[in-house]
Chains A and B, each alone.
Chain A
Amino acid sequence: MSDLVADKVNMVFNTKGGGTVHALKDISFTLKEGELLSVLGPSGCGKTTLLNIIAGFNRPTGGSFYLGDEEISGPGLNRGMVFQQGALFEWLTVAENVNFGLRMKGSNKKETAKKVEEWLEIVGLQGFGNTPTYQLSGGMQQRVALARCLINDPDLILMDEPLGALDALTREKMQTLVLKIWKETGKTIMIITHSVEEALLLGERLFVMAPRPGRLHKEYRLPFAEEGLTTDPREIKNSEHFTQVREEILTMIWDMEEEIMGKTDAA
């Protein structure tokens, strides 16, 4: 029983000029264990701030997050994070990156090595254990990042635009991989993305956020992630329902962007 509960979270930044920016306003939601959530929104709506607070890198100015019974007050092993550029330690090999968390805990070396093998196989990198990470392609680096995060068996996996820097083909493969991992491990996953299609496909639940102040604008419950486990994602993307929701959300975001632009013009 480790649901993620947001209780009226607020985040206000002080700017250098002396003003304040309301990055997040009264965010409240509950993410049940095993749910797959994607968060979408125009740039500057506080998606990454939200994720950083859940990860424990930042502290909110008001309200708090609870994971299970615990209030989140800093980074912890119960929340794993995958970053946009992978954020791999390029001075280490693939295996050393993957077992980083276990090594920090001082786990048994043999067990660690076995786990690393398992996870490298799951993400499709068997035999790459001794390869230096700087020699890997972008897609492979993200696979390493995934394995590095998952090997610690976190309750909640946070992904900050994890596929943003990949080419379209690799991206599709990785989306399938994420779905596969979600299905096989049953983890709670929260993905931030700026791609509407990705958000629809990788979101059992989908939050659309609005900017200024950052807030939850609309929530969807979608069937595509479940479908994606059995069907080819490309077929899903061509289905009528998918197209319809995509257009609806795109229009919504367009309107938000225009609103911002208008505001900027008026100022």
Chain B
Amino acid sequence: MIVGTLFIVLICLLIGSIIYGRRLVKTEVTDAVFGNPTRALGGWHWIVAGVSSILIIWLYFSWDAGRAFFPKAANELCQVAKLNRTANPIRSAFPLEDRLLRGTALLQRDYGQIDLLEMKLANTNFDDGDRTELKSIITEMRTTLSAQADPKLIAPDTAGKLEGITKRINDLARNLADDGYPAEPDPTREEALKQPGWGETSTEIPVMPITDLGYKFAKASEVMDGISKDFGKIRNNGEAITGKLEALKARYTGFEIDDSEGEEITAQRKELVKQIEKIYRRIDDGKIFPSAMTQSVEDALINLDEVKKSEQGSLRLIDLLALPGGDIQAGNRACSEQGSGRWLPKPSDTLKTFTRMADPEVGFKNIPLLWYEMKPVGEVFEILIPDWIADLVPGEYPRHNDEGTVLTNFKNKVYNFATGNYDSMMIPVPIGHIWDSMMRVLAGLFFGIILGVPLGLYMGLSRFAKGFFDPLIELYRPIPPLAWAPLILTIFGIQDDGKIFLLFMVAFAIMVVSARTGATGTQLSKVHAAHSLGASKFQIIRKVILPNSLPEILTGIRISIGVCWGTLVAAEMLAGTTGIGFVENVARKQSDYEIIWMTILLLGLLGLMFDLIMRFIIHRTIPWRGKG
């Protein structure tokens, strides 16, 4: 209901904004010359049109709109698919979906095999006796094969069986076209109506028919199943043919392998006989019939197809238009969406998955996406106090005495304090996959900025620093960060420090280059002015060169965030137990398209958020940019 309304509203919005845009173009007289960049200003209605288009395409191709408007269609199409599936064994014998009749295809293949065998024989070093014998066996094999296509040799009951199949298919087609079929009402309807709806479970589409049309097809598919099975049992095994086959078998089994001419030739002979046996087994299947004999079955199937099409009626249009880019297929026990309906998750389902996973009790792999946890203050800030300060305290760590008691001393207390092992107030601390990913990016970025900016400024101002550090940075900067990942993850392990170091490397190079560019671009007159105003070296760096480089530094940070974000997700996919990349990687292994898409959207939104924040910061901190 909501999805349907939304879909219609979106279409109205799209059309409305296009009409508004057209009218605006006609009424807007000023700056109406092509090439004037001010023409790109404004245009919120095109934002509406763009967003609407994306959502419409998503709703349409994920079949969410189709499901909203035709909630029963999938169930009915599932029943049709069942009929297709049960008819498949018999259909595949005829040129309905394939190009060739199966008998023709089999003959072609087997003739080819026999020709190949003949060629092989001609290239061997067998003596003339063996060669003649084998050649005559192969020739007989060919005649036995072609004999199966001979209508005169077919057993009378085989012909009768084929006729029976034809009749049964025709009866089924007549029944399918009949409005009164099946005569009795669906006994399982009540149960079927209680099934979970389309998309409510992982099986996706309810299997049992919930409409009369569906029941008709379900029933027909059961009948078709029987017909298909019986057709599969029919073989071309009249006496004339079995006699020929037996004679052939007797000949090649009777062929004695002469092993006097050395191992190699003996092996060749054994191989040849083995291949003769292989081809013989195929001929023995008896799946080749005289082509005219099966024509009536083929006609009956074509007739059934037409009835099937006309009986579906509007359902076919729904399948074509409302469920584009794929269809619904039946398996043994369940029906499933194939095509875009499958790999493009429905927006409503994705939202549902997200809502479910956003619940901190559920999360993903028992870790919430973004939540908080109460932790003692000591544990949170433990990382800020290095453990080794306890080692500096004079004295020794306590040892246990003869009674086995361990007394504490001041040194030990300092150690406990440094490791956060003391009673303290509980405070909420954010946790979860999203938080972990964000923290890694921010930590990598933090170290990159703290170390990269000073070095960059130094390199911009000193000949020594420029020359000394330039080769180092320029050598490692062009290496794709992910190329480092295996090495760094191996050295640091799969925990946070490895990833943070990797991100630090990414951010560091970018920050050095941008800070250096900023420092190099400082106007000499400003430095001179600062000198003549009595500023010291440090003051000049802090008050003149740093602010002057801010535009470049902030742009560098903005680029770093983007690159770090991308690198992080890939690194999390390689190794780790938390993070958005980890979630996506696990979902990939389970082919869970909904979670995959959810993580993709989440990454996009978080990236956008970071960028908007950076844009805001840039706007607020360097309003003078381009105006100096």
Enumerate chain A interface residues (CB-CB to B < 8 A): 52, 55-57, 75-77, 79-81, 83-85, 87-92, 100-101, 104-105, 132-134, 148-149, 152
Contacts and interface: CB of A to CB of B under 8 A. Distances in A.
Given A83-B529, A89-B526, 6 more contacts: A77-B533, A87-B523, A87-B525, A89-B543, A91-B548, A152-B533
B544 interface: yes
Given A89-B526, A91-B622, A104-B539, A81 B532 contact: yes
Contacts of B627: 90, 134
Contacts of A84: 525
B534 A83 contact: no
Contacts of B529: 81, 83, 87-89, 148
B619 interface: no
Interface string B11-29: 0000000000000000000
Contacts of A133: 624
A182 to B, nearest CB: 19
B530 to A, nearest CB: 7
A79 B548 CA distance: 24
18 contacts: A55-B532, A57-B531, A75-B531, A75-B532, A80-B533, A81-B529, A84-B525, A87-B525, A87-B526, A89-B526, A90-B628, A101-B533, A101-B535, A104-B530, A104-B533, A132-B624, A148-B529, A152-B534
Contacts of A101: 533-535
A104 B536 contact: yes
Nearest to B536: A104
A47 to B, nearest CB: 15
A44 B623 CA distance: 37
Contact of B624 (A55, A91, A100): A91
B519 to A, nearest CB: 15
Given A90-B627, A91-B547, A134-B623, A104 B528 contact: no
Contacts of B536: 104
B539 A89 contact: no
Contacts of A52: 528
B171 to A, nearest CB: 90
Nearest to B623: A132
A246 B544 CA distance: 41
Contacts of B525: 83-85, 87
Nearest to B533: A101
List 9 A-B pairs, minimum CB-CB distance, nearest first: A101-B533, A75-B531, A87-B525, A134-B624, A90-B628, A134-B627, A90-B624, A77-B534, A91-B547
A83 B526 CA distance: 9
A81 B543 CA distance: 18
B547 A104 contact: no
Question: Which label, helix, strand, loop or mixed, suits the secondary structure of the B interface?
Answer: helix
Contacts of B535: 100-101, 104
Nearest to B622: A91
A89 B544 contact: yes
A76 B528 contact: no
A77 B533 CA distance: 6
A132 to B, nearest CB: 7
B547 A89 contact: yes
Contacts of A134: 623-624, 627-628
B446 to A, nearest CB: 23
Interface string B517-557: 00000010110111111111001000110011010000000
Nearest to B540: A104
Q: Which of B523, B528, B544 has the most CB of A within 10 A?
A: B528
A83 B528 CA distance: 9
A79 B526 CA distance: 16
Interface in B216-241: none
Nearest to B544: A89
Contacts of A57: 528, 531
A83 B530 CA distance: 12
Contacts of A149: 532-533
- Most B CB atoms within 10 A — which of A77, A90, A148? A90
Contacts of A85: 525
Contacts of B530: 89, 100, 104
Identify which of B530, B532, B624 gathers the most chain A CB atoms within 10 Å of its CB: B532
B164 to A, nearest CB: 94
A172 B125 CA distance: 115
A86 to B, nearest CB: 9
A41 to B, nearest CB: 21
A17 B482 CA distance: 47
A34 to B, nearest CB: 20
A153 to B, nearest CB: 11
B544 to A, nearest CB: 7
B627 to A, nearest CB: 4
A76 B539 CA distance: 15
A92 B628 CA distance: 11
A88 B385 CA distance: 43
Contacts of A80: 532-533
B528 A55 contact: yes
Contacts of A104: 530, 533-536, 539, 543
A148 to B, nearest CB: 7
A76 B523 CA distance: 20
Contacts of A79: 532
A81 B530 CA distance: 10
A197 B367 CA distance: 80
B522 to A, nearest CB: 11
